[in-house]
């Protein structure tokens, strides 16, 4: 158990803020507020925080502001209306540290109303399933699932079964499951392929809108990023009305190496933890990053691929260099309602609304900003994890990160530097 008096001052404030935001019962709120309990956060195994009670800060809680555009209400991929996210986390015994994460593009049956989509291959050392049909037809017809490398076939099979059982899909004879992955084999018994059909179904059926659980959860349970514990992270941007008013949301599964930078501050070097540094005992220069970009802007699959390419730029801004063994994929989709592709329509030709090419640049900027911040959130929200064969990866030391960011004057830029002012909207 982790006791309240063992939490740092910064984390205590953030914990109380988290409790106030959470939909806890009034009884629990009173208990927390009065601090009459000595232990608040239940730990499963060693360092796994109870789902929904993560008190760790996100980037903006620490004053780390990325870019000039504003985030949405949740600062998450779910700020794109209709998008839902669900996790199933497996922490079993000493060696199983893995899971699955589901991203639902809209509230309906995705096969019956497909979303325009594209996939960009940054460095294609990976086992992403479903790429070729998306490349050929320009749409996605299932929820997007993320898991570990060796579980891709099992997860894809479960996703197919789930879709076959959906009402309206009784005559379905072909389906293209989209499943991304990163390799969590340092912390997880990856050869055991422990993610089952039930886990996949749970992740999809329990997916929700609003706040998104981040860090060492779902497909991010066993991942490592930039020398520290990685995981799931998310962020969003809302364009000003003059630039279209569209939303862009990003979710990442971070599992890659490099030299961590935060707004240019050399955090990885200051902490002496980065690729090829002699303190790192595993081959951390390799790894992968799955990035999912959602928008409500009316984009063609061609412009969605252009959008996806911009997310790749954000990896470099965090200190990644896309190593030989890094499977870096970006999946982008638009759930603009009028452009959904109906499976049953008898109309041979249909009209769609598409944003002009010369209106894409603000969305490009929003994508870079949201992806960069999502990666930082995946690090900051992650908890230390001990797993397979006693391997342990520590969470990034947040108080030291704040000290370094203060040293290089990269905090609270919204107070000291110009941003996109309200009067310009």
Instruction: Please give the positions annotated as active site.
Output: 288, 326, 328
CB 385, CB 216: distance < 8 Å? yes
Max Cα separation, the chain? 67
**What is the DSSP annotation of 14-75?**
HHHHHHHHS---HHHHHHHHHT--SEEE-EETTTEEPTT---PPPGGGGT---SSSBP-SSS
**What is the DSSP annotation of 114-160?**
EEEEEEEEEEE-S--BSHHHHHHH-EE-S-EEEEEGGGHHHHHHHHH
Task: Give Cα 365 to chain centroid, integer Å.
Answer: 18
Whole-Å CA distances, 131 to 22, 111, 124, 275: 37, 16, 11, 30
What is the distance between the alpha carbons of residues 151 and 156, in angstroms, rounded to a whole number? 8
CB 309, CB 302: distance < 8 Å? no
Of 291, 286, 283, which Cα lies nearest the Cα of 324? 286
Of 371, 417, 365, 409, which Cα lies nearest the Cα of 69? 365
Residue 288: which H helix or E strand, with range?
strand 288-295
SS3 (DSSP) at 97: strand
Burial code of 51-65, b = ≥16 C-beta within 10 A, e = fewer? eeebbbbbbbbbbbb
CB 236, CB 72: distance < 8 Å? yes
Burial class (CB in 10 A: 0-12, 13-18, 19+), 327: buried
What is the distance between the alpha carbons of residues 411 and 417, in angstroms, rounded to a whole number? 11
In the 8-state DSSP scheme, what is residue 276? T
């Amino acid at each position: 158990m982790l006791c309240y008096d063992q939490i740092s001052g910064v984390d205590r404030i953030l914990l109380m803020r988290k409790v106030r935001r959470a939909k806890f019962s009034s009884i629990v709120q009173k208990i927390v507020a009065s601090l009459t309990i000595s232990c608040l956060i239940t730990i499963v195994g060693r360092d796994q925080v109870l789902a929904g009670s993560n008190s760790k800060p996100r980037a903006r809680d620490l004053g780390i502001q990325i870019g000039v555009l504003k985030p949405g209400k949740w600062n998450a991929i779910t700020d794109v209306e209709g998008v839902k996210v669900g996790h199933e986390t497996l922490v079993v015994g000493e060696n199983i540290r893995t899971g699955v994460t589901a991203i639902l593009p809209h509230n309906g049956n995705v096969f019956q109303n497909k979303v325009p989509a594209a996939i960009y291959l940054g460095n294609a050392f990976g086992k992403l399933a479903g790429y070729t049909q998306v490349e050929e037809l320009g749409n996605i017809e299932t929820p997007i699932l993320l898991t570990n490398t060796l579980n891709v076939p099992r997860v894809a099979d479960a996703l197919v079964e789930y879709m076959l059982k959906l009402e309206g899909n009784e005559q379905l004879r072909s389906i293209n499951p989209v499943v991304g992955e990163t390799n969590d084999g340092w912390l997880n018994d990856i050869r055991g392929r422990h993610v089952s059909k039930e886990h996949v179904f749970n992740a999809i059926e329990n997916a929700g809108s609003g706040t998104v659980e981040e860090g060492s959860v779902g497909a991010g349970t066993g991942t490592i990023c930039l020398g520290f514990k990685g995981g799931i992270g998310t962020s969003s941007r809302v364009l000003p009305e003059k630039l279209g008013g569209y939303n862009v949301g990003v979710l990442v599964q971070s599992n890659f190496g490099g030299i961590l930078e935060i707004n240019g501050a050399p955090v990885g070097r200051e902490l002496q933890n980065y690729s090829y540094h002699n303190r790192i005992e595993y081959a951390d220069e390799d790894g992968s990053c799955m990035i999912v970009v959602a928008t409500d802007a009316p984009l063609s699959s061609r412009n969605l691929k252009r959008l996806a390419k911009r997310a790749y730029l954000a990896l470099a801004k965090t200190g990644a260099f896309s190593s030989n063994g890094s499977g870096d994929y970006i999946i982008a989709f638009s759930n603009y309602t009028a452009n959904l592709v109906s499976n049953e329509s008898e109309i041979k030709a249909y009209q769609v609304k598409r944003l002009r090419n010369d209106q894409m640049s603000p969305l490009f900027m929003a994508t870079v900003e949201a992806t960069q911040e999502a990666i930082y959130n995946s690090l900051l929200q992650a908890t230390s994890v001990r797993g397979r064969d006693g391997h342990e990866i520590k969470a990034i030391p947040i108080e030291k990160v704040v000290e370094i960011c203060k040293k290089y004057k990269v905090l609270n830029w919204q107070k000291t530097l110009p941003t996109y002012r309200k009067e310009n909207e």
